[in-house]
Structure 1
Amino acid sequence: MAKVVVVGGGTSGFAAAIAAARAGANVTLLEQSSYLGGTMTGGLVPGIVSLRHQPWRDLETLVEMETSHAGDQVVQGIAQEMIDRLIDAGGAYGTPGHATIRVSFDPEIMKVVIDKMCREAGVAIDYHTKVTAVLRENGRVAGVKANFGDEIIADCVIDATGDGHVAWLAGARYEQGENGDPTYVQPITMYFLMGGVELDKTIDYACSGREDFSERYLRKLRELYEEGKPLTIPGLPRLREVAAQAGDYPGAFGSTTLNPRAHNNILRPIFRNGKVVYDTTMHNVDMAYRVDATDNKTLSEAIGSMRDFTLKIGEFYRKYVPGYENAYVLQIADNIGIRETRRVIGEYMLTGEDVLEARSFPDSIGYCGATVDVHNIDGSEKTRMTAIRGGRLYQIPFRILVPEEIDGLLVAGRCVSADRVACGSIRQQAGCIVTGQAAGVAAALAADRRVEARHLPIGIIQQALKVQGAQL
């Protein structure tokens, strides 16, 4: 039986493993932590974005994403199956078979669901496994070395590490940052939860007119809260500004120009036990800037700083934000949110223009409708969110999964071949699952036929994806 090894069990890796196994391969999934899902689970990022076209017009669009079925659903297959199983387990908000623009879920139940999906497909999962080298045979990647020198042979390896770690070990060319500066990247986030929240008071404050929110947004916010539905509060910029003037808003690692009013600081109630829980909130706060996350020493320093920053932000909430007077930091993510490191150069590089102009490709392996989400590199300006023009979608070409001149290897997820702007869209969860499922199918087909994935007729890959429920 053809052997496929998937390195990294995050958002793209678990999908790649399931897809390869269902396409007939013997699959081993190597994951360095003790759970699958990456940022979706250990990263406490409890929302799958852009299974439908993701508009970006105003705050009204943002607050409605978890409840809106607007537009056509563009991502199905393994992604929809995962959501349906989460809903059945009381672990996600919504109706089976019909995803909202952003699906709220419980990260702990997600860990169980995707682990079971992998095992039911026949995937062998090796937790606490770190790849240290690649094996070569006749110039192609033929497997990997892990942990203490264990050799794992494969007909095809999928790099789903996010950082393109396996591709880097194999000598693949890549881009990182801009103009040769690997620190010119989006900031890192360490998501956290706060408990003991009285969110009704926070919403009363938001609706008081002291923040610059539109009447339409506030009406929708109040409506969602009263109906017990998911909602989003995009930070409280006036309170951040007041706190900063009093010296009570913390500075972030790597930035001397942090603008508290522009600082990305979003909060959402969480989904637990089959319902939205309003006394616990998830916080998405940019915490570390100009960090090359492939440099372990710098990253380790940033992680320590981010944990300290989390407690200081918790103090800000207690002191300044109504409803948080008795709140506390409940949980800090194990898996940090790295938005950008290596982008492996493939047979084609997806560009920002491709994304924003909603271009089509003959070797399409799926659609993406995610907003281009590029966070400011130093916190001096607001995050730049740009919707695809005309409310359309772009196709994802298979070639961005195929490293240039490296055989026996495919990439999936955040490290696919894309420029910085395109990466701001395709790095999001839905895009990662699409590229993961396609890489898994292609790896299994190539391994079975004893050919390189780059030489497979695209029609064979597309047909196999359709069999697995993917939307092309």
Structure 2
Amino acid sequence: MFKKLFLLLLFTPVLGAFAETIKTDVLVVGGTPSGVAAAIQSSRSKIKTLLIEQGSWLGGEMTAGGMCVLDANKTLPSGIWGEFRKKVRDFYKRTPGFDTTANAALRFEPYTGAAILKKMCDTVKNLTVKMNMPVTAVKKDGNGWELIVTLNGKPATVKAKVLVDATPLGDIAAQSGATFWTGFDNKKETGEALAPEQALPIIEDVTWVAVLKEFEKNTIYLMQKPAGYDEALYVSLKGKDIKKMLEAGRLPNNKYMIKWTENTYGATIDQLSPEKREEFYKSMRQRTLGLVFYIQNELGFKNIGIDDKEFGSPDHLPYIPYIREYRRYKGQTRMTLGEIYNPYANKLYRTSIAVGDAAFGQHYADPAAPKTNYPPLPAYTIPLGSIVSKDVVNLIVTEKAMSTTHLTNASTFYPSVQMTVGQAAGATAAYCVFFDKTTKSFDALTVRTIQGEILDYKGILYPFADIGPSDKYFRSVEQVIGSGMLKQVHQLQGKSMQVLFKPDSTVSTADVEPVLRETFTRAFIWFSKNHPGALFTVSDMLSYISDYTLTEPKTLQLTLQKQWQDTYKFKQAFDLKRPITRYEFAVLANKYLNPFSTHVDITGKVVN
């Protein structure tokens, strides 16, 4: 009897018995701007990485969603974002009409953007990319992860040590058990003066972009009237300068990105839920088709139509919508407007892992949505804790679901900002694997190690309008700013707020003394003994370095006097009596004091 039962089991197919299991160290779900950057960085950090995307294109909303005019972070072309930007510009540099000025908005055809991202991924070792692979289940496996995916029409299992949710809507984090905020936060909860008194379940509108092509002038390129067409939805366009609106979205090769009020639609949290999402998407597509029909038939642009060679969807519209907001998960820290407008109110600036400068969006069809009077926006930093889950071990989250407030998300969600966030997510995931850490066991070395990896791969931690990565000592400036010894300067110029380093300005003793005392245990002895004046001099700097490094003062003076202009190329001559400049201070402090080696925790507090 037992023998017969054994033979029966041996030759009876068992469902799932031969299902494929894929093992990786880091798993990135979502081929979005942040997802691609995370996967590339994790792989470059020499960690086995798998990137899976349920669609057929890489790039998320800036390619598959047609959001292909990027005007944020154009003066901050760092790391992987800077690499992508350069490759796009190189591709189009001989295309007639393409704007090659250094800080022009980046414009590209969606298909071309996706192809460039794919090529970037193809050239990276340790990285495997799987397209058309939806995730059907997510569960914890100890400190690691086990996901059920569909591979070639069959279920397969993916096992990973660290999971990066780079999906547009935080779907993986939701399945993992992470908790979320939605809509407007209230002022009491976030401490943001611009937040409303009461929380509101209102999110920003959604756009279904159209990419149109201008055919020859005598060509009539009319589409059929779409189902449910309602002319009243678009009459607001009458009397507007349509040519000017088209030019604002001009793409290479006589194409236009249409991202107008008329194809931007009010959305609710319920409509974007997984259960109702597809139905909502279908209605938006139809309305965007109606807009194109109106442009052709009512506004008279009969030779402008949907480019049927751009997208392979049945209606030739982008595959996915451009979503600004849905839900934001709870991270180890939460990024607020305070980190943008008053970065020194707390210590989170010390944990910066990415930068952004995208103008705040305010797109609300709901009349109950309050109007936010944002002050002029400075470039800002994004703290490490905003991408690391508070509740779920080894979960890192990017895109619209990262840990921010509603008012802050209005900038951080932007694709080019998210590419910088993604690079940091990849470095963070790689750190966990390489050092056998979990996101719950971050120690005093964690923040600086991750930041160092980002800097090694040409990322930017602190954005400046007056000094950039081409400067020989830019990393010294970044690291000293990260220590807090010197601070960024916000300066209003016209209607814009610039973030400056002011390299030629002098150093105030009152600025550097508190951080020197906080960072170095012997600093209080030096200050008690030397009593520097209001302005920190070259002599003060050499004296402090001599005391800290135990170098004989005269030897140090002779060495630096020789190197001052020969090695460091400082603008001003060596003079012990004059106030030291911020640039000189940063270079010497980074070399001799190495404040960046001082450990800080994920809140930015110094850990001695």
Provide the residue aligned with 2:258 in structure 1.
282
**Which digits, 9 at most, give the CA deviation of each residue in 1:68-121, with x for residues without a partner?**
xxxxx234110111111122222894549x443x21112111111111111211
Say if 1:114 and 1:162 are closer, same or farther in 2 by CA, change over 3 A: same
- Displacement after TM superposition at 1:295 (Å): 2.0
Question: Does 2:250 correspond to 1:270?
Answer: yes
In structure 1, how many angstroms separate the alpha carbons of the residues matched to 2:216 and 2:324?
31
How many residue pairs match? The answer is 387
In 1, the alpha carbon distance for the partners of 2:215 and 2:375 equals 36
> Could you say which residue in structure 2 is the equivalent of 1:144?
147
1:166 to 165, 172, 176: 172
- TM alignment of 1:103-182, pairs within 5 A: 103-122=106-125, 123-138=127-142, 140-147=143-150, 148-178=154-184
Conservation of the 8 A alpha-carbon contact between 1:375 and 1:383: no
Displacement of 1:26 after TM fit?
0.4
1:365 matched residue in structure 2: 353
In the TM superposition, what are the counterparts of 1:4-403 in structure 2 within 5 Å? 4-52=26-74, 73-90=75-92, 93-95=98-100, 98-100=102-104, 102-122=105-125, 123-138=127-142, 140-147=143-150, 148-178=154-184, 184-196=202-214, 248-250=231-233, 267=246, 268-273=248-253, 277=254, 280=256, 282-284=258-260, 285-290=263-268, 292-321=270-299, 324-330=301-307, 331-357=316-342, 361-378=349-366, 389=376, 392-403=378-389
- Counterpart residue type for residue 318 of structure 2: A
Are the structure 2 counterparts of residues 344 and 198 from structure 1 closer, same or farther at C-alpha, using a change threshold of 3 Å?
A: farther
Q: Cα gap change, 1:99/1:154 in structure 2, threshold over 3 Å: closer, same or farther? A: farther
Answer whether contact 1:18 1:440 (CA < 8 A) is retained: yes
- In structure 2, what residue type is equivalent to 1:78? I
**8 Å Cα contact 1:373-1:384 kept in structure 2:** no
Per the alignment, in what secondary structure is the counterpart of residue 432 of structure 1?
Answer: helix
> Who is 2:451 aligned against?
462
| One-letter amino acid of the structure 2 residue matched with residue 408 of structure 1 | N
SS in 1 for 2:350: coil
**Equivalent AA in structure 2 for residue 5 of structure 1:** L
More strand, by proportion: 1
Alpha carbons of 1:35 and 1:311: their partners in 2 closer, same or farther (altered >3 Å)?
A: closer
Amino acid at match of 1:118: C
Amino acid at match of 2:295: Y
Letter in 2 for 1:315: F
Distance (whole Å) between structure 1 residues aligned to residue 45 and residue 183 of structure 2: 36
Q: Structure 2: which amino acid aligns with 1:270?
A: R
CA contact (8 A) 1:357 1:388 kept: no
Gaps in structure 1 of 5+ consecutive residues: 53-72, 200-246, 252-257
1:370/1:385 Cα in 2 relative to 1: closer, same or farther (>3 Å)? farther
Letter in 2 for 1:249: A
| 1:418 Cα deviation from its structure 2 partner | 0.6
Aligned AA (1:150): A
Could you tell me how far apart the structure 2 residues matched to 1:183 and 1:325 are? 41
Post-superposition CA distance 1:297-319 (Å, at most 9, x none): 43222222222212321233234
Q: Does 1:427 align with 2:427?
A: no
CA distance in 2 between counterparts of 1:386 and 1:367 reads 22
The TM-score normalised by the length of structure 2 is 0.58
The letter of the residue matching 1:302 is: F
Identity %: 22
Compute the displacement of 1:367 (Å). 1.7
Quote how far apart the aligned CAs of 1:133 are: 2.2
Instruction: Give 2:356's aligned amino acid.
Output: C
Is this contact kept in 2: 1:403–1:410, CA < 8 A?
A: yes
Deviations 1:180-239 (A, max 9, x none): 99962111111002334799xxxxxxxxxxxxxxxxxxxxxxxxxxxxxxxxxxxxxxxx
- The alpha-carbon deviation at position 325 of structure 1 amounts to 4.1
CA contact (8 A) 1:401 1:411 kept: yes
CA distance in 1, matches of 2:199, 2:53: 29
Alpha-carbon distance between aligned partners in 1 of 2:76 and 2:257, rounded to the nearest angstrom: 29
Alpha-carbon distance change, 307 to 135 in structure 1, aligned in 2, over 3 angstroms: closer
Deviations 1:414-454 (A, max 9, x none): 21001111000000012211110000011011111110145
Pairwise CA distance, 1:288: 4.2
> Tell me, what secondary structure is at the counterpart of 2:326?
coil
Contact 1:159 1:409 in 2 (8 A): yes
**Larger radius of gyration, structure 1 or 2?**
2
- For the Cα contact (< 8 Å) 2:251–2:257, is it kept in 1? no
Q: Deviations over 1:276-328 (max 9, x none)?
A: x26x4534430343353542343222222222212321233234436x14433
Correspondence for 2:401 = 415
Using the size of structure 1 for normalisation, the TM-score is 0.74
Q: Is the 8 A contact 2:24 2:159 kept in 1?
A: no
Partner of 2:404, secondary structure, is coil
C-alpha separation between the residues in 1 aligned to 2:359 and 2:341?
Answer: 9
